Structure 1
Amino acid sequence: MLQEISDEQLDALAYEAKRELSRQFYRDYVELVHRGHYTHYRHTEVVCDVLQRVADGEQLSILIEMPPRHGKSMTVTESFPSFYLGKNPDKRVIAAAYSDGLATKFGRLNRNKFNEFSNELFKVQLSESNAATKDWGIQDRRGGMISTGIGGSITGQGADLMIIDDPIKNMKEAMSQTIRDSIWDEWEATLSTRLHDGASLIVIMTRWHEDDLIGRLLARSPRKWIRLRLPAIAEDENDLLGRKIGEPLCRELGYDENWANDKKAEVGSRTWNALYQQRPSPAGGSIFKRAWIKYYVRTKEQKQEWGLSDEVLVLPTNFDKMAQSWDCTFKGTDTSDFVAGGVWGRKKAQYFLLDVDHRRMGFAETMKAIRAMSDKWPNARSKYIEDKANGSAIIEMLKDEISGIVPVDPNGGKEARANAVSPLFEAGNVYLPHPNMCPWVEDLVEELVSFPNAAHDDLVDMTTQALNQLYTNNSNPIDRFKKLLGK
C-alpha cells in the first residue's frame, strides 16, 4: 500500500523538479527566478530556445527585434547573464544600453538573481570582494558581468557574451544622423574589439530607423545572424511563430487586433511599421503620402459647381484658434531658399491652411511680409517664428512692434518634426485649400510628398511648425495648469 503524500511534500517535490529543470534549461530558469511574476508566451519560448544554445556553448550572433512591452529585456538582458554565468562561471559578460542608468539596472538585476540562486543551482556564488552592481564577479572563478552605457569605459575588459539592449533611447535620437553614427563608431571602435575569440553577441532593439544599429549590422557585418524579428501583427507567410497573417504577437497581454488598429491610428503608419512591426521605412521619403492630402472649399456652391466628393469639406466660418507660422531661411540671393509664411486655423481636431506667402525675400522684405500678413489676418494672433539664424533676427526686430510673436525652439531635426505631425495627415485632420481655388497649393503638396528629398523644404517647415504648435497647445488651460503643477 502506497504511503499517502502530504501537500507539503508534493510542493517540495515539485520545487525540486523545477529546480533541476532550471539548472539545465533557461526556459525554466527564467520562470523560477521571477518567483511567479513571469509567464511564457510563444515568442518568449522561441527566444529562450535560441539563448539556450548560447548557454550550452554555441557561438551565435543574434538579432532580436520586438515591439515595446512584450518582455524582451525581462526575458534576455535582465536574466540571461545570471544563467549563462551559472553554467559558465569562468566566462565574462558585457551588457550595454543607451544610458549608464539602464545598464546599471541590468547589472543589478542579474547580480541579485545570481546571488540568490547560483549556489543552490550551480554550486557557485557571488564574489565577496567584487559585487558592485555594474561590475561583479564569481567567487574563486574568473567569470563576471560588466554593465555600461554606450560610450562608457570598458577599457581592458573582454566578453565571451555581449548583449546590446536598445542602444537608441527614442525617436529623436533615432532620427539623428550624428547619434546613429556615434553608436556605430562605438560598436566598431570599442564594443566589437572586446569580443573574445568564440564569443556570442546578442543585439536587442525596438526598431526606430532603417539605419539604426541592427540596420547597419545587417548591411555591413559579415556575421551569420540569427534574426528573431517578431512583429506585433504577423504579415509574412513564413512567420517565425507560424502565425497566420493578421494574427497578433501576444493577445494574452492585451495586444490584440483591436489594440493594433487603435495603436496604428494613434501613432500613424510610419511609427507603427517601425516600432511595432520592426519594419522601418527608408529615411528618404514617404513621410507624407499623397493619399493623405485632404482639401476644403469656401462654399457649398463651389463644391457643387466643381463636382467634388464628400471628402472635400466646406471651410468653417470660425475657428478655435488661428496662428501664423514662418520659416525665415534666406541669404539675400536668388539661389537661397524661399521664405514661407502661412496662416492656419484649428477647429476642434481639424487644421486648415488659410493663406500662404511663399517667395524669395531678403531681411526687409520678410519683415514687411509678416506685417502685411498680420494686418490681413488680425485674428491669427500667435506668430510662430523659428528662433534660429535669420528667424532670431526677425524676432528681435519685430517683437516690440507686432504682438503675439512666439519664438519656437527647433527641437529635433526636420524629419523628427515631420514625423511628429504625419499622424494628423494620415488621420485626415489636415485640410489644404482645393487647387481649383488656390493653385499654389500644388507646390506644398509636392514638397510634402517628396520630403526630405525635395530641392526645397520651406513650405514643409512652415507646415510642421504650425501643426506641432497648434497640436501641442490644443488642450484645456486647467489641464495644462495641473500638468505644470505635476498633478
Structure 2
Amino acid sequence: MKLRRTKLRLNAPKQLSSFLAYANPKYQAEWFHKVIADYCQQLYEGKIKKLMLFMPPQHGKSEIISRNFPAWALGRDPDLKIVGSSYSADLAQQFSRAIQRTIDSEEYQAIFPETYLSGSITERNNDATTRGYLRNVDYFETVGHRGFYKAVGVGGGLTGTPVDIAIIDDPVKDATEAYSATYRERVWNWYNTVLSTRLHNDSRQLFIMTRWHEDDLAGRLLKAEPDEWTVVVIPSICEQEHDGALNSPRHIGDALWPDKHSLQKLQKQKKRAPREFSALYQQRPTIEGGNIVKRDWFRKISLAEFTALRFREPMHFYLDTAYNKKKQGRDNDPSGVLAACRINQSIYLYDAQSVWKEMPDLLRFLPEYIAAHCGNKESVLHIEPKANGISVVQMLREVSTLNVTETPVPVDDKEVRLRVVSPRIECGRVFIVEGSWNDDFLDQVCAFPAASHDEFVDILGYAINDLYEDDDDIDYDNINLV
C-alpha cells in the first residue's frame, strides 16, 4: 500500500486518473472513469478544445469532472480561470465547496504547494500575501496568482469574467425542464449571450450531460457546429463490441457499472419507460413521436384480428445481413429480419427480429424463422445483395428450398431511402401486428438516424417498396383513408 501511495503521489501531478485515487484513497475507478479522466486531461493540455461527454445518471461523471478536474487543473496551472456551471446555483456551489476542500487538503498541498487559497489551514495563512484574495462559495482566487474558480447556475451572470476553461455539468434538472421549449430556449440564449461571450481563442469547453431531448443544448451545438466538438458517448448498456473506439472490456448487452447498476435493474428501467431510457441511459434522445418517421403513423392490429383478416395472403420476408465481424467500429452489428404481407392496399408487419449470427448459424436460423412465421411455398425471402448478402443468397439456394431473391441495389443513403417511403407510413397504410417485438422495432425506426443500429430501417424500406411495387401511381399525399 505504501508503494502504491508513493507511485500515486508521483503520478498525480501529471495524470488526472492518478490524482483521483491519490486525493481519495477510497476511490474505486472503473474503466470508464479512466476514459473520462484521460479525455479531460487532453482538454487541459489543449489537444481538445471542445469536449462533450454523454453518460447515464449516477455513474460518477460529476465526481471526476466537476469536483476533481478543476482542482487538478488549478494545481497544474494556478493562473487558470475556470467557470463551473450547472442547472442551479446551489449545485454549482456544492461543486465549488468540494474543489476548495480538495485544495485545502494535506495530500493536495504535498503535490501542488504553489496552489492554495485564502484561509487555508497552512502556515502560509500568516503570510500577508493572502490578504485581499477572495474566497467564498461562489468564487475563489489562487493566492499569488491570477487564477480563480467561479460557480454559476445556468442563467447566472458572468460579466467581466474571462474564461480559460468552461464546464457545464447537466444544464437541465429534470424532465419538466427538458421537455419545455421555453426552458431549452432560455439555456440556449444564456450560452450564446453570457457564457460564449466570456471565451477567447484558446478557451476550452467541457460539457457533461445526460441527454434528455434531441433539442437540448448539446443537440443544438452539434447541429450548428458538428465538426468542432469531440463527442464521447458511453451508454449504460453496451451496443457495440468493446464500445467501438473506446476499446472497453465490455461486450454487447453488458451493463456499464454492474456493481452499482445491474443489467436487471437497467432492463426494468427500459421496460417502464423505453423512450426515456433511450435518452437518459443510452444517450439517444428522439424527437417527440419520432424523427423522420413518427410512432403514431403506424397503425396497430391485434394478432387475432390480423389472423382473421389475412386468410391466404402469402407472408414475405426481408433480410439485412451483418454477420461479418471484420469492419472496425461496427463489430457485431445484428442482422435484421422482417415478416410482412400485403392485404388490399395496406401492409402488415407481422414480426421483426435482430439476430447476432455468423454465416452457419444464420443459414440454419432463416428456414426455422420463416416456418415459424407463416411462411409457405409462396413466400419469398428478399436479401440485399451487399457483400454478405450475396453469400447468404448463394448458400441458401444450395442448402434450402426457400424462394430467395435479391433486392435492388440501393443507390441512395439510408436516410434518403427512409424519407422516400415515409409518406406510405404517414398515410396510415402500414399496420403493426401487436407483439413483444413492437417496442424495439419502433424505437429504432423512429429514432433513426440517431439510433445505434439501423437494420430495421433497411428492411422496412425493402418491404414497403416490394409490396407496393405495382402501385407507384398512388398519390399518397391525397389518399382517402375512409
TM-score band w.r.t. shorter chain: 0.5 to 0.7
Unaligned runs of 5+ in 1: 1-10, 297-302, 310-424, 428-487
Tell me the amino acid that sits aligned with residue 199 of structure 1. Answer: S
SS at match of 1:127: coil
Residue 81 (structure 1) aligned with residue 70 (structure 2): yes
The offset of 1:53, in angstroms, is 1.8
* 1:408-427, Cα deviation, whole Å (9 max, x unpaired): xxxxxxxxxxxxxxxxx979
The offset of 1:76, in angstroms, is 0.9
Could you tell me whether the CA contact under 8 Å between 2:89 and 2:154 is conserved in 1? yes
Partner of 1:452: none
Aligned ranges 1:14-53 → 2 under 5 Å: 14-36=4-26, 38-53=27-42
Partner of 2:253: 246
Tell me the amino acid that sits aligned with residue 278 of structure 1. Answer: Q
Give, in whole Å, the separation in 1 of the partners of 2:10 and 2:196. Answer: 35
Could you tell me whether the CA contact under 8 Å between 1:67 and 1:278 is conserved in 2? yes
After superposing the two structures, state which structure 1 stretch, 145-154 or 228-237, moved more.
Answer: 228-237
Partner of 1:152: 156
Partner of 2:219: 215
Distance 1:113 1:178, change over 3 A: same
1:101 aligned residue (90, 95, 100): 90
Could you tell me whether the CA contact under 8 Å between 2:81 and 2:149 is conserved in 1? yes
SS at match of 1:193: helix
1:136 aligned residue (116, 134, 140): 140
Partner of 1:353: none
* 1:86-107, Cα deviation, whole Å (9 max, x unpaired): 0011111001110010110111
Tell me the amino acid that sits aligned with residue 134 of structure 1. Answer: D
Distance 1:292 1:24, change over 3 A: farther
Distance 1:225 1:262, change over 3 A: same
Partner of 2:187: 183
Distance 1:14 1:276, change over 3 A: closer
SS at match of 1:232: coil
2:104 aligned residue (115, 123, 133): 115
The offset of 1:200, in angstroms, is 1.1
Partner of 1:165: 169
Give, in whole Å, the separation in 2 of the partners of 1:48 and 1:183. Answer: 27
TM-score normalised to the size of structure 1? 0.56
Could you tell me whether the CA contact under 8 Å between 1:89 and 1:143 is conserved in 2? yes
The offset of 1:143, in angstroms, is 0.7
Could you tell me whether the CA contact under 8 Å between 1:234 and 1:244 is conserved in 2? yes
Distance 1:307 1:57, change over 3 A: closer
Give, in whole Å, the separation in 2 of the partners of 1:110 and 1:293. Answer: 54
Kindly, what percent of the aligned residue pairs are identical? 32
Give, in whole Å, the separation in 2 of the partners of 1:26 and 1:106. Answer: 17
SS at match of 1:62: strand
The offset of 1:74, in angstroms, is 0.9
Residue 127 (structure 1) aligned with residue 118 (structure 2): yes
Aligned ranges 1:21-420 → 2 under 5 Å: 21-36=11-26, 38-116=27-105, 117-124=107-114, 125-128=116-119, 129-221=133-225, 224-236=228-240, 239-242=244-247, 243-256=250-263, 258-267=264-273, 269-285=274-290
Give, in whole Å, the separation in 2 of the partners of 1:171 and 1:292. Answer: 28
The offset of 1:223, in angstroms, is 5.6
* 1:265-287, Cα deviation, whole Å (9 max, x unpaired): 122x2111111110001235478
Distance 1:70 1:48, change over 3 A: same
Give, in whole Å, the separation in 2 of the partners of 1:91 and 1:114. Answer: 14
Partner of 2:405: none
Give, in whole Å, the separation in 2 of the partners of 1:13 and 1:200. Answer: 36
SS at match of 1:252: coil
The offset of 1:13, in angstroms, is 4.4
SS at match of 1:192: helix
SS at match of 1:24: coil
Give, in whole Å, the separation in 2 of the partners of 1:19 and 1:167. Answer: 34
Could you tell me whether the CA contact under 8 Å between 2:48 and 2:230 is conserved in 1? no
Could you tell me whether the CA contact under 8 Å between 2:270 and 2:277 is conserved in 1? yes
Tell me the amino acid that sits aligned with residue 65 of structure 1. Answer: F
Tell me the amino acid that sits aligned with residue 246 of structure 1. Answer: G
The offset of 1:49, in angstroms, is 1.0
Give, in whole Å, the separation in 1 of the partners of 2:289 and 2:272. Answer: 23
Give, in whole Å, the separation in 1 of the partners of 2:209 and 2:15. Answer: 24
Tell me the amino acid that sits aligned with residue 85 of structure 1. Answer: L
Give, in whole Å, the separation in 2 of the partners of 1:105 and 1:139. Answer: 21
Partner of 2:384: none
Partner of 1:410: none
Tell me the amino acid that sits aligned with residue 276 of structure 1. Answer: Y
Could you tell me whether the CA contact under 8 Å between 2:16 and 2:69 is conserved in 1? yes
Give, in whole Å, the separation in 1 of the partners of 2:51 and 2:142. Answer: 26
The offset of 1:293, in angstroms, is 5.3
SS at match of 2:78: coil
Partner of 1:468: none
Q: Aligned-pair RMSD on alpha carbons? A: 2.8
Give, in whole Å, the separation in 2 of the partners of 1:134 and 1:76. Answer: 18
The offset of 1:145, in angstroms, is 0.4
Tell me the amino acid that sits aligned with residue 249 of structure 1. Answer: L
Give, in whole Å, the separation in 1 of the partners of 2:262 and 2:64. Answer: 18
Tell me the amino acid that sits aligned with residue 67 of structure 2. Answer: E
Tell me the amino acid that sits aligned with residue 93 of structure 1. Answer: I
Tell me the amino acid that sits aligned with residue 176 of structure 2. Answer: K
The offset of 1:43, in angstroms, is 1.2
Could you tell me whether the CA contact under 8 Å between 1:42 and 1:241 is conserved in 2? no
Could you tell me whether the CA contact under 8 Å between 2:157 and 2:194 is conserved in 1? no
* 1:412-447, Cα deviation, whole Å (9 max, x unpaired): xxxxxxxxxxxxx979xxxxxxxxxxxxxxxxxxxx
The offset of 1:162, in angstroms, is 0.6
Give, in whole Å, the separation in 1 of the partners of 2:296 and 2:239. Answer: 21
Partner of 1:405: none
TM-score normalised to the size of structure 2? 0.56
Could you tell me whether the CA contact under 8 Å between 1:94 and 1:147 is conserved in 2? yes
Could you tell me whether the CA contact under 8 Å between 2:289 and 2:296 is conserved in 1? no
Give, in whole Å, the separation in 2 of the partners of 1:208 and 1:31. Answer: 31
Distance 1:33 1:263, change over 3 A: same
Q: What is the aligned residue count?
A: 293
